[in-house]
Amino acid sequence: MKIALFSAKGYDKDYFDRINKNYHLSITYFETGLNKDTSNLTLGFDGVCVFVNDNLDKETIEKIAANGIKVIALRCAGFNNVDIAAAQANNIKVVRVPAYSPEAVAEHAVALILTLNRKTHKAYNRVRESNFSLEKLTGFNLHNKTVGVIGTGIIGKAFCNIMLGFGCHVVAYDVYASDELKHKGVQYVSLDELLKQSDIISLHCPLTPETKHIINESAFTKMKNGVMLINTGRGALVNTQDAIKALKDQKLGYLGIDVYEQETNIFFRDLSEEIMQDEIFARLMTFPNVLVTAHQAFFTGEALEQIATITLQNLSDFENGETLVNEVKG
């Protein structure tokens, strides 16, 4: 089976080529993303492999279906960038990687918390310049703080376990409560109650029509003054303009994000010699209490190996007519 892998980076090729020795699929790598304007590249292939910023809307899916594409393999957990109904209407199967390394993302969320809190990024730069002053580097203890977790799937669960280890009081909001977490001391509350109680809020829910902009102006008004917000989920969980207003009003004391609403034209690219065209993102970067990483929470060797292995197994199962255990259905 011939697969076109889009948004390919060097690390994708390294891991997929190594693990594909066990599957023997024919993979062609394209650095460009897949969208309606690049859909012509899918001609002659049986399937496509895509990532978070590839745009498989209805128009794109109709075009790749006309080119003979029969399967879309997401090498990520989220599938909000794929029109599932359009895929089904065009008889294209969609498969994903529901879990690759939940600890990788959870641990990165903690890294954002600790960096923002203890200002290690600023301390590092000071020491490099022989500035050993501790002025304005004051942090706070995580111990006994209330941490609110929105979404307690496998990543949220891993994050809860870490924060319990810090001695935090963990409250959570999810449509489906975890008995395992409740047994460990996690308290499930309403979303409003979580927003009111939490010193730190971390987002781990999927992006759906119901969760889009779950953190907005209304949500910020319910939070404590000086709250820390962490987002390693999907960019559109947070209304960025509302977050900027909350930062200006000093309602939001710290913001750590690994994802951004309009990241498609920014993340995974070297723009160091270009003028930032996204004025909202540029404004966000002016705040001293904002920390941005470029969608790297998943980026560990263990996660990359799992992503490649599960993606290739999904494609192999499709090729061999096996049950698609990771199929996404509408």
Q: Which residues are catalytic?
A: 234, 263, 295
Q: Which of 181, 96, 98 is nearest to 147 (CA)?
A: 181
Place of tokens 């390394």: 101
Helices (H), 129-232: 154-165, 179-184, 191-197, 217-222
Q: Do 52 and 298 touch, CB atoms closer than 8 A?
A: no
Q: What's the CA gap between 59 and 62, in Å, rounded? A: 5
Distance of CA 58 to the CA centre of its chain: 23
Q: Do 270 and 10 touch, CB atoms closer than 8 A?
A: no
Burial group, residue 175, by CB count within 10 angstroms (0-12, 13-18, 19+)? exposed
Amino acid in position 247: L
Q: Which of 293, 37, 20 is nearest to 6 (CA)?
A: 37
Q: Which helix (H) or strand (E) holds 290?
A: strand 290-292
Q: What's the CA gap between 233 and 258, in Å, rounded? A: 8
Distance of CA 226 to the CA centre of its chain: 24
Parallel/antiparallel/unpaired status of strands 252-257 and 290-292 = parallel
Task: Record the tokens describing residue 266, joined without a space.
Answer: 């920014």
Q: What's the CA gap between 141 and 255, in Å, rounded? A: 17
Q: What's the CA gap between 250 and 101, in Å, rounded? A: 35
C-alpha Rg value of the chain to the nearest Å: 21
Phi, psi (deg, nearest 5) at residue 128? -60, -25
